[in-house]
Structure 1
Amino acid sequence: MAVVRPFRAFRPTKELAHKVAELPYDVMNSDEAREIADGNPYSFLHVDKAEIDLEPSVDIYDQRVYEKASENLNRMIETGVYLEDKKPYMYIYRIASNGKRQTGIVACTSIDDYINNVIKKHEKTRADKEEDRVNHVDYCDANTGPIFLTYRHNANINAVVTKWTQKSPEYDFTSPDGVQHTVWVINDLEDVDYLTNQFKSVDNLYIADGHHRAASAVRVGLKRRQQYPQYTGKEEFNFFLSVIFPDEDLRIMDYNRVVKDTNGLSVEELIEKICTKFNVISYQGEGAYRPEEKHTFGMYIEGKWHKLIAREGSYDDKDPVASLDVSILQDNLLSPILGIEDPRTSDRIDFIGGVRGLKELEKRAAADMKLAFSMYPTTISDLMAIADAGKIMPPKSTWFEPKPRSGIFVHKLK
C-alpha cells in the first residue's frame, strides 16, 4: 500500500512559471547554470544551484551556498513570485517532447514508505551528493525538486487523470529545449481523496530518477523527527515531493559509452578478442548503427561501425542484473578486454545520454576518445524487476527523457 497525499504547494504565478522552471540541478555544472540563469532573476537555479550567486571560488558544498539557496527561495516567496495554495491539492503534470508525452500526478509520498521499501530503489547513492542535498533541503526547509517515481498501470487512477486533462490547464508553456510543460490543479477534494485511496491499492512505487534527492529528503525527515519527538506522523517533514508517472508513459533512452583507448590492442587484436563473446558483423548500413533489440551493440572505431551480438552463454538470462545489456558489455568486453574494472571511477570511459544522438559518439571517438559503443535502451520492466529483486542496477544504465522541471512545485516542510 502506497501512501500518497495532497499538499499545499508553493507555485509560481502563471506569468512567471516559464521563467522559473529549470532542469534538475544535477544535469549541469555551475558554469552552465550561470550561463542559463544569466539575466533571469526568476530562474530556479538561483535556488537549486545557489553558488551561481556567489564568487566562482566558493566551493559548491560550502555552507554559504545553502544559506544563499534559502535566502533566494524565501525572497521569491516574499516578493510574490511564489504563491501558496490555500488547501492541500494534488496536481497533474504533463511533459511532451518529440511526439512523446508522459502524464503524472504531483503529490507527497511517505518517508516511511521509502524506509520500508514500499518505494523501491535500484541505485546506490554517493555520500557526497547525498550530503549536499541533505544540506539543501535542511537549509531551505523544503523539497525543491520532485522525485521521479513510477507505478504499474492503474485504470482508476488513469481515469481521473484523463478527466482532469480535458479541462483548461493552470500552466502551459514550452521550455527553451522545446519540451512542453502542462499543469492542472486537482482542486476537487473528492477526487483528491479518491486518488489517495486508489494509491493504497498500489503495492509499490519505484524511483525512476532522483535517488539522491529521495535519500536526502528522508534523512531530513528523520532529523526533524529527532528535533520534534512529539511528532504525530502527519507533519509535512514526514513526506517528500514526488511526481508519479504510470509505467506505460515512460521512455528510457539509450545510455552510450565512449572509451579513451584500446588497452594497447590493435583493432584486429581487439576484434579477435571480442569475437570470443560476441558475433561481430561489419555494419554496411547508412549512418550510425543503432541496436534494434536487446543483447545487440554498436561499436565505432576508426571511422567504422560494427554490430556486436552477445553469444549464448556470455550472460545469465535468469539474473535481472547480469542480463542487462550494460552488464553484458561491462562483464564481457569493457572489463576483461579493455581493462575498465570500475566504470564509476575510471577516467578512461565516459557516458553519453541518448538525447545527444549517435553522431555525438562519432564526434567523441574522433576527438578525445578512441572507440564508442551504442546501446539498446534499458526498459521500465527491467528497472522494476531489478528493484523487486532488491538488486542494484549498474551505473549509467538509464537515461530518462524528457525530464521533469524543478521550481514548478515547492513543498515546504513546515
Structure 2
Amino acid sequence: MAKIVPFKAVRPAPDKIGLVSCRNYEDYSAAELAAWLNFNPYSFLHVISPAYANVQSIGLKKRFKGVALKYKDFKAENIFIQEEKPVFYLYEINTKKQKFTGIIAGTSVIDYKNNHIKKHEDTLEYRVEMFKSYLHQTRFNTEPVLITYPDSVELNTWILLKKQGQPANQFSTTNKEKHTLWKIDTQSDIDWLQEHFDNIPNLYIADGHHRSASAEKLYDDDKELNNPNLDYFMSFLIAESNVKIYEFNRIIRDLNDHSKEDFLKLIAENFIIKTKDQELWKPQNKFEFSMYLDGDFYALYYKHENSNSNERSILETLDAQILYDKVLNPILGIEDLRNDERIEYIPGNKSITTIKEVIDEGGFKVGFMLYPSDISEIKTLADNNLIMPPKSTYIEPKFRSGLVVYEL
C-alpha cells in the first residue's frame, strides 16, 4: 500500500503567485538571478538566496538561517498564507510541448524506508547531509519529490472531473508555461484519494532522490520531537504515462591522448560506425548512440545488442551503462562520472545543435547522444534494487519553487 496524506500547505497570496514562484535556483544564470532579485521584490529567489551578493563568503549554516528568516518575513508581510486545514492539490503544468497533471500530497517516510517508494538513482552523502541541514535550519521544503504511480482509468476520470471545477490559482510564467492549481479539500475527496492509493503496492521516484533521502535522515534525527510533519515529505504524484523522460548527453574535453584514427578504431571494436557527416543525427532506438567528433556526426550501433539477454544483468543492457563500460571508462579513462572534470552533461530537452556548438567552440573534443530510457526500464531497475549510472535521465515536469510550501 502507498500512504498519502493532505497537509496544511503555505502558498503565495492569490494576487502574487505569478510573481512569487520561480524556477529552481540552479536554473538561473548569474545575470538572470541578479535581474530577478533587483526588479521583483516578491520573487521566492529572495527567500532561497537571501545573501546572494556574498553567498560565497558565508557558511551554509548562516545562509540557511538567512533563508528561514526571509521566509518568516514573507509570511509576516502576507506574501505567503497558510491553509486553514490539511488539503491535497491537483496541479497542471502546460508547457509549449506537453501538459502534465499530478497530485501534491505528503508521502510516507516509513513507506520509503520499507521500499514501497522505490528508487533507481544513487545519492551523494554530502548532498543528502547538506539538504538535511537545510531542512533542519529552515523547517520548510518547497521542492516536492516527483513520484510516479501506475496509470489508472478510475483516477484519470476523477482528475478530469476535478479539473472542471474552479481553480484555486491560475497563472502564466515568462517562459510561456501555464500553471493551474485546484484545491482538494472535501473530506469525501480526501478519503477517496487516500483509499485509491492504499491499493497501490509501490510508488517509484522519478526525480528527487536526494530530497527523499534527506527527509529520511531528518526523520531519524528528529523523530523524538514527535512532529507528525516529519513522518512525511511533500511529493508530486503523476501517472507513469504522463512523465517525460529525456536522456542526459555527454561531452568530453579530450580523447585521453588518442588520435582521432586510433579512437575510432577502438570504438569499432564494440560498435558499427556509420558516418553521418553534417546530418544532425540522433539515436532512433535502444543500443544506438550518436557521436559528434571533429565536425562530423557518427551513428554507433552496439554490436552485442542481440546477445543472450539472460547472460547479462539488467544494468548491463542500459545504454548509459554500455557507453560507460565500452567507451567512457576503458577508452577515455573516465572512472567517476559524477566528479571527473573532463565530462559534462547536457539534458536531452536541449537541441542537438547545442552539443555541436559547445564542441565547435573548442572546449570539448567529443560528444555522445543517447536514446532515452523509458519508465519500464526505470521500474525494472528499481524492483531489482539496481542503480542507474549518474546522469542517466532528465525527467520532466519540473516543479516551481515557492508554489506550495510544506512546513516541518
Q: Give the TM-score normalised by structure 2.
A: 0.94
Q: How far 1:410 sits from its partner (Å)?
A: 0.7
What is the SS of the residue equivalent to 2:389?
coil
2:281 to 279, 289, 294: 289
Q: How far 1:138 sits from its partner (Å)?
A: 1.3
Instruction: Tell me, in whole angstroms, the C-alpha distance in 2 between the residues paired with 1:264 and 1:117.
Output: 45
Q: Deviations over 1:213-234 (max 9, x none)?
A: 1111222222221234xx6xxx
What is aligned with 1:409? 404
Instruction: Tell me, in whole angstroms, the C-alpha distance in 2 between the residues paired with 1:159 and 1:49.
Output: 41
Q: How far 1:44 sits from its partner (Å)?
A: 1.6
What is aligned with 1:163? 161
Q: How far 1:29 sits from its partner (Å)?
A: 7.0
Instruction: Tell me, in whole angstroms, the C-alpha distance in 2 between the residues paired with 1:206 and 1:37.
Output: 36
Instruction: Tell me, in whole angstroms, the C-alpha distance in 2 between the residues paired with 1:301 and 1:287.
Output: 13
What is aligned with 1:55? 54
Structure 1 gap ranges (5+): none
What is the SS of the residue equivalent to 1:99?
coil
The answer to whether residue 11 in structure 2 is matched with residue 11 in structure 1 is yes
Instruction: Tell me, in whole angstroms, the C-alpha distance in 1 between the residues paired with 2:352 and 2:167.
Output: 36
Q: How far 1:107 sits from its partner (Å)?
A: 0.6
Instruction: Tell me, in whole angstroms, the C-alpha distance in 1 between the residues paired with 2:307 and 2:249.
Output: 20
1:324 to 318, 322, 347: 318
Instruction: Tell me, in whole angstroms, the C-alpha distance in 1 between the residues paired with 2:206 and 2:290.
Output: 26
The answer to whether residue 231 in structure 2 is matched with residue 218 in structure 1 is no
Instruction: Tell me, in whole angstroms, the C-alpha distance in 2 between the residues paired with 1:227 and 1:33.
Output: 37
The answer as to whether partners of 1:149 and 1:209 remain within 8 angstroms in 2 is yes
What is aligned with 2:198? 200
Q: How far 1:112 sits from its partner (Å)?
A: 0.7
The answer as to whether partners of 1:315 and 1:323 remain within 8 angstroms in 2 is no
Q: How far 1:313 sits from its partner (Å)?
A: 6.0
Instruction: Tell me, in whole angstroms, the C-alpha distance in 2 between the residues paired with 1:210 and 1:163.
Output: 29
Instruction: Tell me, in whole angstroms, the C-alpha distance in 2 between the residues paired with 1:19 and 1:63.
Output: 28
What is the SS of the residue equivalent to 2:391?
coil
Instruction: Tell me, in whole angstroms, the C-alpha distance in 2 between the residues paired with 1:218 and 1:45.
Output: 26
The answer as to whether partners of 1:13 and 1:83 remain within 8 angstroms in 2 is yes
Deviation larger for 335-344 or 317-326: 317-326
Instruction: Classify 1:405/1:44 alpha carbon distance in 2 versus 1 (closer, same or farther; 3 Å).
Output: same
The answer as to whether partners of 1:30 and 1:49 remain within 8 angstroms in 2 is no
Instruction: Tell me, in whole angstroms, the C-alpha distance in 1 between the residues paired with 2:233 and 2:397.
Output: 22
Instruction: Tell me, in whole angstroms, the C-alpha distance in 1 between the residues paired with 2:194 and 2:293.
Output: 53
Q: Give the TM-score normalised by structure 1.
A: 0.93
2:229 to 228, 236, 253: 236
Q: Deviations over 1:234-280 (max 9, x none)?
A: x1221111110110001111210111111222222111111110110
Q: How far 1:202 sits from its partner (Å)?
A: 0.8
The answer as to whether partners of 1:289 and 1:374 remain within 8 angstroms in 2 is no
What is aligned with 2:349? 355
Instruction: Tell me, in whole angstroms, the C-alpha distance in 1 between the residues paired with 2:50 and 2:382.
Output: 33
1:3-402 correspondence to structure 2 within 5 Å: 3-28=3-28, 33-52=33-52, 55-59=54-58, 61-228=59-226, 235-283=228-276, 287-312=279-304, 317=309, 318-367=312-361, 368-402=363-397
Instruction: Tell me, in whole angstroms, the C-alpha distance in 1 between the residues paired with 2:245 and 2:36.
Output: 25
Q: Deviations over 1:71-127 (max 9, x none)?
A: 111111111111111121110111122231111000101111111111111112212
Q: How far 1:187 sits from its partner (Å)?
A: 2.1
| Overall identity of the aligned pairs, in % | 32
What CA RMSD, in Å, does the superposition of the two structures yield over aligned residues? 1.9
The amino acid that maps onto 1:334 is L
The amino acid that maps onto 1:324 is L
Instruction: Classify 1:325/1:38 alpha carbon distance in 2 versus 1 (closer, same or farther; 3 Å).
Output: farther
The answer as to whether partners of 2:116 and 2:201 remain within 8 angstroms in 1 is yes
What is the SS of the residue equivalent to 2:223?
helix
What is the SS of the residue equivalent to 1:183?
strand
